[in-house]
Amino acid sequence: MDSLLFHAFIYLVAAVITVPLAKRLGLGSVLGYLLAGVIIGPHALNLVGDRTGDVMHFAEFGVVMMLFLVGLELQPALLWKLRVQLLGLGGLQVFGTALVIALIGAALGLGWRLPFAAGLILAMSSTAIVLQSLQERGQLKTPAGESAFAVLLFQDIAVIPILALLPLLALEPATPAVAASTVDALPDAAAAHGASGIASLAGWQQTLVVIAVVAGIIAAGRYLVNPVFRIIARTEIRELFTAAALLLVISVSLTMQLVGLSAALGTFVAGVVLANSEYRHELEADIGPFKGLLLGLFFITVGAQIDFALLRTSPGLIAGLVFALLTVKFLILFVLARIFRLATPEGLLFSFALAQGGEFAFVLLSFVVDHHVFTAAQAAPLTATVALSMAITPLLFVFNEKFVQPHFARPTPPARAADQIDPASQENPVIIAGFGRFGHIVGRLLRANGVGTTVLDLDPEQVEVVRRIGLKVFYGDATRVDLLHAAGAAHAKLIVIAIDDEAKSVALVETVQKHFPHLKIFARAAGRVHAFEFQKRGVETFYRETLGSSLELGVDVLRAVGFRGHQALRAARTFKQHDEASVRELAEFWEDDDKYFSEARKRIEAFDQMFASDAVTGRQAKGDRGWDPMPPGDASRD
């Protein structure tokens, strides 16, 4: 009964039973997987034998995939925006934590070397648990989520120099020969996070190789991936595309390992490069399930590896260590959140999220034992501490959500499954995505005129409010293809995209164009930049959300200062025509800042000129000369 299938059976049964239970209890899927691991692990039912370590190394590939997917969602511009957090927040977190732990250790009379090494190791947080938990709660795009992500990314990069630094902290310095050879002795897991195959090269050569490889990944992502995927997509064999997507991720990982960089970092870069690719959604859809399964497996193995024997023999020590670790990291994180001006509730989420130890710690701890920095007996309680702190993290999220956040702003709404859309609604000719301030006006206008609409909205509160005033709205994310199908997109004539999240509305345009090309799109645009995004995708029927009401206000102000109502209204209409035309003309320039502004200025000046000459001569450049008195001396008067 030691077969692969049997193991798979055990893992899957455990997951399928515990994860829904954990979700049901509002604890999140991560805790469910961890519990599953504890149950099937050696200290409970002992169903999976002693191979969990191997499985874990394999499952860690889920983290790599996760970073690839995160990269796909991240436009390069956003990454650039995060640079301050990445270097500042991330750097201060890692070295601040290491320093504080070293000081505490020194104060306890442990010297500074060991505590500092331990500090570097314990500064790491769990990318897998944190990102999964944030994503599950829809908090990845919040300020706290973005900051946490930046810190995790920095940690991922920092592992590489830390691996180089740790052997130097040994009480009896390792000989250079040992330092070099240990690189090969690293477990596979370490390789996944950055062991080196080019260690024999000189430092500057290594640097060159690394730069070349990263540049190669970027270039390949830019110029190679799209054509290749186009060829594969043309075969119309669905699983081939999945295979190609997996191949992409795995080959990037292998390349990175070869040059001693973190595979997760490499796939993240690849993801960012492909964020603008037309195959982005396909890649997401194909890699997503693998990522989910592998991460789940990874969490199970973490649960299975919690050393309950150690916990039984010295519960006080472990509990104390876990508490101390979480407290120290939490305090440092919270101070940093303050320095980087996160609002208090955001800062709390950020600090609770990153307070645990991470999976890197397992790698680094076995690495330091191999290098005689730590003895195995010293490392064991730390390993247990990290594992326990990871297991506690989902509870910290729940604690933060249930007991801490309510004291601040309104609590985040609980995760909720999409509504079932009744069959009658699937025949409606119009789908409205987003039923907030904008969409509900469109929806009511259509409904009042007898046009059948199917409405989707992602804000549970809004759905409730609208339902209470007697309108039917389905809760659900309109960017999901299956939900669009359920909403009757195959039969509908058009879709009104009225969601206020700009990135989401653009994503929805792409999804609709890809899967329901017959649907005519009417899109709400936040402003010019958003409008340009639509035009880039061929959508000309976009409506800037504030244009109408600001012109209405302008008309009333013109009237208040003495203009005739009809004249004011016509002026506003002329303005609107001109502005709509200029938004369409400027679309081709907007990626070039200088050109864009000079062109925009030209148009504004021309427009002002037109009105100014009208005010002087009483004539409009075009449009209403028919109302002018006849010119004097015209024979037709006589």
Partner 1 sequence: MPARVLVLFAHPALQKSRVNRHLATAARQVPGVTFHDLYEVYPDFQIDVPREQEQLLAHDVIVFQHPFYWYSAPALLKEWLDLVLEYGFAYGPTGTRLQGKSLLSAITTGGSAHAYTREGHNHFTMRELLAPFEQTARLCGMTWLDPFVIHHASRLGEATSLSPHIARYTQVLANLRDGQPAPASVTPPSIAKP
Q: What is the distance between the alpha carbons of residues 350 and 397, in angstroms, rounded to a whole number?
A: 10
Among the residue ranges 94-102, 318-326, 457-465, 562-570, the one whose residues contact partner 1 (CB under 8 A): 562-570
Q: Does 223 bind partner 1 (CB under 8 A)?
A: no
Q: Does 636 bind partner 1 (CB under 8 A)?
A: yes
Which position among 179, 209, 526, 569 is part of the footprint of partner 1 (CB under 8 A)? 569
Helix (H, G, I), strand (E, B) or coil at 495: strand
Task: Using the minimum distance from each CB to partner 1, give the nearer residue, 514 or 566.
Answer: 566
Among the residue ranges 14-22, 234-242, 249-257, 623-631, the one whose residues contact partner 1 (CB under 8 A): 623-631
Which position among 95, 528, 567, 599 is part of the footprint of partner 1 (CB under 8 A)? 567
Minimum gap (Å) between residue 635 Cβ and partner 1: 7
Q: Does 618 bind partner 1 (CB under 8 A)?
A: yes
The full length of the chain comes to 638
Helix (H, G, I), strand (E, B) or coil at 451: coil
Q: Does 630 bind partner 1 (CB under 8 A)?
A: yes
Judged on CB neighbours under 10 Å (0-12, 13-18, 19+), 593 is exposed
Task: Using the minimum distance from each CB to partner 1, give the nearer residue, 316 or 632.
Answer: 632
Q: Does 560 bind partner 1 (CB under 8 A)?
A: no
Q: What is the distance between the alpha carbons of residues 426 and 171, in angstroms, rounded to a whole number?
A: 71
Q: Does 628 bind partner 1 (CB under 8 A)?
A: yes
Q: What is the distance between the alpha carbons of residues 607 and 509, in angstroms, rounded to a whole number?
A: 32
Q: Indicate the helix (H) or strand (E) that contains 440.
A: helix 439-448
Q: Does 230 bind partner 1 (CB under 8 A)?
A: no
Task: Using the minimum distance from each CB to partner 1, give the nearer residue, 250 or 558.
Answer: 558
Q: What is the distance between the alpha carbons of residues 103 and 67, in angstroms, rounded to a whole number?
A: 33
Task: Using the minimum distance from each CB to partner 1, give the nearer residue, 609 or 617.
Answer: 617
Closest CA to 85 of 11, 142, 162, 147: 147
Tell me, what DSSP letter sits at residue 498? -
Minimum gap (Å) between residue 562 Cβ and partner 1: 10
Among the residue ranges 212-220, 336-344, 590-598, 630-638, the one whose residues contact partner 1 (CB under 8 A): 630-638
Task: Using the minimum distance from each CB to partner 1, give the nearer residue, 450 or 629.
Answer: 629
Q: Does 551 bind partner 1 (CB under 8 A)?
A: no
Minimum gap (Å) between residue 624 Cβ and partner 1: 6
Q: Does 566 bind partner 1 (CB under 8 A)?
A: yes
Read off the amino acid at residue 68. Answer: F
Helix (H, G, I), strand (E, B) or coil at 522: strand
Task: Using the minimum distance from each CB to partner 1, give the nearer residue, 420 or 617.
Answer: 617
Task: Using the minimum distance from each CB to partner 1, give the nearer residue, 343 or 569.
Answer: 569
3-state secondary structure 328-368: HHHHHHHHHHHHCCCCHHHHHHHHHHHCCCCHHHHHHHHHH
Q: Does 638 bind partner 1 (CB under 8 A)?
A: yes
Structure tokens at 151: 């810190």
Closest CA to 264 of 60, 52, 54, 59: 60
Q: Does 616 bind partner 1 (CB under 8 A)?
A: no
Which position among 76, 173, 406, 565 is part of the footprint of partner 1 (CB under 8 A)? 565
Structure tokens at 24: 């049901």
Give 467's Cβ-side CA count (13 Å radius). 12
Which position among 204, 223, 403, 627 is part of the footprint of partner 1 (CB under 8 A)? 627
How many helical (H) and strand (E) elements, i.e. helices and strands, does the chain have? 30, 6
CB 112 within 8 A of CB 106: yes
Q: What is the distance between the alpha carbons of residues 586 and 606, in angstroms, rounded to a whole number?
A: 14
CB 374 within 8 A of CB 171: no
Q: Does 561 bind partner 1 (CB under 8 A)?
A: no
Among the residue ranges 24-32, 144-152, 416-424, 628-636, the one whose residues contact partner 1 (CB under 8 A): 628-636
Helix (H, G, I), strand (E, B) or coil at 475: strand
Minimum gap (Å) between residue 633 Cβ and partner 1: 10
Task: Using the minimum distance from each CB to partner 1, give the nearer residue, 560 or 630.
Answer: 630
Among the residue ranges 394-402, 524-532, 561-569, 599-607, the one whose residues contact partner 1 (CB under 8 A): 561-569
Characterize the bridge pairing of strands 542-544 and 494-497.
unpaired
Which position among 568, 583, 586, 587 is part of the footprint of partner 1 (CB under 8 A)? 568
Task: Using the minimum distance from each CB to partner 1, give the nearer residue, 592 or 628.
Answer: 628
Q: Total residues contacting partner 1 (rule CB under 8 A)?
A: 19
Q: What is the distance between the alpha carbons of residues 381 and 219, in angstroms, rounded to a whole number?
A: 45
Q: Does 622 bind partner 1 (CB under 8 A)?
A: no
Chain residues binding partner 1 by CB under 8 A are 564-569, 618, 624, 626-632, 635-638
